[in-house]
Amino acid sequence: AGRYRYDYARKTANYSDDEKTNRFDTYIGYLFDELKLEYNFTWMDSDQIKFDNKKTNYEHNVALAWKLNKSFTPYVEVGNVAVRNNTDERQTRYRVGLQYHF
């Protein structure tokens, strides 16, 4: 699956440094009964410096979710994200959460 998002971030009161970013997400997943494994790649193209002194950036995320019942799905996610916009440093991001389905 995939999706496109347009992000607009107001940075100043006079709109001179507002950030406009095109985001492209792709998802690949597999469902094992109540367990779901998913990989997400995100590509960002912006009018501002995003990563390594360039106007582009990317993220990798891998998530594992367990459908506890029809309402609750706990998950863990590990991602690779940029540290700063002016270096090529990256770091690992960990997320733990609970999805509620209604």
Q: Count up the domains in the chain and report the number.
A: 1
* 3 is a domain residue: no
* 8 is a domain residue: no
pLDDT at 12: 74
Indicate the pTM of the whole model. 0.85
Q: Span 81-102, mean pLDDT? A: 96
* 5 is a domain residue: no
pLDDT at 99: 96
* 6 is a domain residue: no
* 84 is a domain residue: yes
| Gap between the Cα atoms of 97 and 86, Å rounded | 30
| Gap between the Cα atoms of 61 and 56, Å rounded | 17
* 7 is a domain residue: no
* 10 is a domain residue: no
* 41 is a domain residue: yes
**pLDDT at residue 54 greater than cutoff 70:** yes
Residue whose C-alpha is closest to residue 77's, from 90, 66, 85, 88: 66
**pLDDT at residue 94 greater than cutoff 70:** yes
Query: What would the pLDDT profile of 3-35 be if each residue is shown by its tens digit?
Result: 999 999 987 777 677 899 999 999 999 999 999
Q: Span 48-71, mean pLDDT? A: 96
Domain range for 75 is 21-100
| Gap between the Cα atoms of 18 and 69, Å rounded | 43
CATH number at residue 33: 2.40.160.40
